[in-house]
Amino acid sequence: MAKGKGQKRPKAETPKGFRDYFGTEVSARKAMLDKIAAVYHRYGFDALETSAVETVEALGKFLPDVDRPNEGVFAWEEDGDWLALRYDLTAPLARVAAQYRNDLPTPYRRYAMGPVWRNEKPGPGRFRQFYQCDADTVGAASVAADAEICAMLADALEEVGIPRGDYVIRVNNRKVLNGLLEKLGGDFRPATSEDAELAKVWDRGIEDAILRTADKFDKVGEQGVIELLTAGRKDASGAFIDGVGLSISNANSVLSFLTSRADTNSQTIVNLRNVVGDSKVGLEGVTELEEIAALLEAQGYGPDRIIIDPSVVRGLGYYTGPVYEAELTFEIKDEKGRPRQFGSVAGGGRYDDLVKRFTGQTVPATGVSIGVDRLLAALAAKGRLEDKAQGPVVVTVMDRNRMADYMGMVRDLRAARIRAEMYLGNPKNFGNQLKYADKRGSPVAIIQGEDEAARGVVQVKDLILGAKLAQDASLEEWKSQPAQVEVPLAEMVATVREIMGRHG
């Protein structure tokens, strides 16, 4: 009789597009988010935790067709309804604001932190699960709410360790762009055609193309933007990129908008008024920017921290009013050793139409989202993260028959708020216990054999100092700075505290 095949063993590997986070990474992220949460709480924002699962109908954004409503999200059908893992923290907020509108205060300030999931093709640095950190105000139409978000974002960056001068928050307004487009009006026509019908063509496709081109301003420069807005240009590889098809005059008007930033916010405002002319919506947007700048200036948030910058166009297709982006200005080295600026770590703006999907009524809202992984990477680049988290004090085991005594030592350390554990492996080889403590990043090891137990003492081994002395100390230094001391058992906790305090 043939032998049946055994059950295939599963592969011990992380699914594509996902990753595992270990102790140091988790601790660093928690410490950073705790600091940000403290700032948000100080501003009067309340914490909100929403379900990781929403109905696809509530998410709304990823619905390409009726038959497959799971494009972009991880979705499944249950009892005739489609459910999905949330792809961001804003869509759940819109649902909460609509569902609990009679119970929540108006305006409602909330912050949320947690994982989100996107069913997208993964790539370098691009994962299907990642953390977001959001703060939003729902129900406040005044741009004072936008100014408050910008000020709070500046405070949060400084709180976590990004010093003033290493970041700038740039503010723009979708209404100003709308005013520019309104001013240009029906004159948006292909540069190669004189067809009278085409002279009045204006649709969302052209608007999106202008936004995409404007977003490349930092990469291709003024001439590159002009070429991409008109007939097109060759990229660095020699490939030709089709242009939007605007006339030179209209392309220059868009460029004037992008380059309106001046040395002061007040001069930038003047330049923007000239760009939008007599457009009502454009002037409204400029006035809002002027008010935001004045509110921030009055609180001490000057252009050294927050500036009006019309070149911020990312997200303008989604937002309905002010839009802001936090950019880190210090240099880092890329994978080839070339210097480059770190770039954006947060973005947000006003989105007054999101809650309307549920209620049918316009509900003003504004908020910001911090890229958690990018901000952590920035802190690491600035040397503001510990390279290695401190592990627990390890109580070694010299005698199996005295396990209760060792556990008592651990209890005393923990009661003193000192992180500690007893070695639980095979105690036969003492060297392995110290290797374990080293792998755990332990600052101190406690040792008590039969002789020490009889005399009521313990050996307290400073593992940090020991490693340092073993690496580069002379014999004299080794003798003058003993890495291991014998103390009465009653003084064990105080000695451990003194050693850990010495190492910060």
- Fill in the amino acid letter for 234: K
- The reported pLDDT for the residue numbered 468 is 82
Q: Is the four-CA dihedral 273, 278, 282, 284 of positive or negative sign?
A: positive
Written as six digits, the tokens of 360 are 């049918």
Which H or E run contains 469? helix 463-472
Alpha-carbon distance of 56 to 189, in angstroms, equals 39
Task: Specify the higher pLDDT residue, 196 or 85.
Answer: 85
- The reported pLDDT for the residue numbered 476 is 56
| Average confidence (pLDDT) over 421-432 | 92
Task: Specify the higher pLDDT residue, 431 or 68.
Answer: 431
Percent of the chain residues past pLDDT 70, beyond the cut: 89
In which band, very low, low, confident or very high, does the pLDDT at 237 lie, cut at 50, 70 and 90?
confident
CATH class assigned to 17-141+352-389: alpha beta
80 pLDDT more than 80: yes
Same fold, 17-141+352-389 and 393-502: no
- The reported pLDDT for the residue numbered 214 is 79
| Average confidence (pLDDT) over 77-95 | 91
> Cα(first)–Cα(last) distance of the chain, in Å?
69
247 pLDDT more than 90: no
- The reported pLDDT for the residue numbered 288 is 97
470 pLDDT more than 80: no
Alpha-carbon distance of 160 to 158, in angstroms, equals 6
Question: Considering only CA atoms, which of 325, 322, 315 is closest in space to residue 364?
Answer: 322
Q: Interior CA angle at 7 toward 2 and 8, to 5°?
A: 120
> What is the β-pairing status of strands 365-371 and 339-350?
antiparallel
- The reported pLDDT for the residue numbered 335 is 67
Question: Are 485 and 457 within 8 A, CB to CB?
Answer: no
| Average confidence (pLDDT) over 62-79 | 66
Token pair 């220059």 is found at 252
What confidence tens digit (pLDDT) does each residue in 367-415 have?
999 999 999 988 988 887 765 668 999 999 999 899 999 999 999 999 9
The CATH number corresponding to 393-502 among 3.60.15.10, 3.30.300.30, 1.10.10.200, 3.40.50.800 equals 3.40.50.800
Task: Specify the higher pLDDT residue, 238 or 167.
Answer: 167
- The reported pLDDT for the residue numbered 185 is 61
What confidence tens digit (pLDDT) does each residue in 274-308 have?
988 888 999 999 999 999 999 999 999 999 999 99
What SS3 state is found at 426?
coil
Alpha-carbon distance of 463 to 483, in angstroms, equals 7
Contacts of 20 (CB under 8 A, 6+ apart): 14
What SS3 state is found at 37?
helix
What confidence tens digit (pLDDT) does each residue in 429-462 have?
999 999 999 999 999 999 999 999 999 999 999 9
Contacts of 271 (CB under 8 A, 6+ apart): 260, 261, 262
Question: Are 372 and 28 within 8 A, CB to CB?
Answer: no
Domain ranges of the chain: 17-141+352-389, 393-502
Contacts of 88 (CB under 8 A, 6+ apart): 116, 132, 134, 369
66 pLDDT more than 60: no
